[in-house]
Amino acid sequence: MRFALLFAFITACLMKSVHSCGCEYNFATSCSDGPTEGAKRLAKHFTERFGGRTEIYNCRKIEGSSTTSLHAEGRAVDLYVTGATGREAFDYAVKIACSNGIQEAIFNRRIWTSELGEHDYKGVNPHIDHVHIGLNKCGAKSFGAAS
């Protein structure tokens, strides 16, 4: 009985570490050396589902601001799809966000974060030609690792 409980506990912990990164927001602070494994797997997962091409790593600030972009830490994927497909990819990202460490999605002047939900995006880049999907630090390590 005690072993069964211990086993259940360990399994739950393992499942949590692999499957549930939550969707809390981790700001980027400085440039890393390339794309994270989680972002590479996210790019593959989304292109298999929605087509398009992707870009991940780019050592830069957010356009029109002094805030370091998640792309600078290799934690964001830009998926180049537009129109209804873009909206579908955005909705899908939001749907799976909080169990996979997705902390933000941006498309067509709209942004989703767990804190504020979906609302208008006022950034300089309107994100009409691509969907931006950002991972928190946990997601950047483990997105898609189990599959």
23/37 Cα distance (integer angstroms): 17
Of 54, 78, 97, 113, the one binding Zn ion by CB under 5 A? 78
**Chain position carrying tokens 């870009």:** 55
**Chain position carrying tokens 């794309």:** 35
Q: Nearest residue to Zn ion, using CB?
A: 132
Question: What character string, x for contact with Zn ion (CB under 5 A) and - otherwise, covers 90-129?
Answer: ----------------------------------------
22/138 Cα distance (integer angstroms): 8
CB-hemisphere CA count at 13 Å for 35? 17
Q: Of 107 and 142, which CB lies nearer to Zn ion in the complex structure?
A: 107
Q: What's the closest the beta carbon of residue 20 comes to Zn ion, in angstroms?
A: 24
Binding site for Zn ion (CB under 5 A): 76, 78, 132
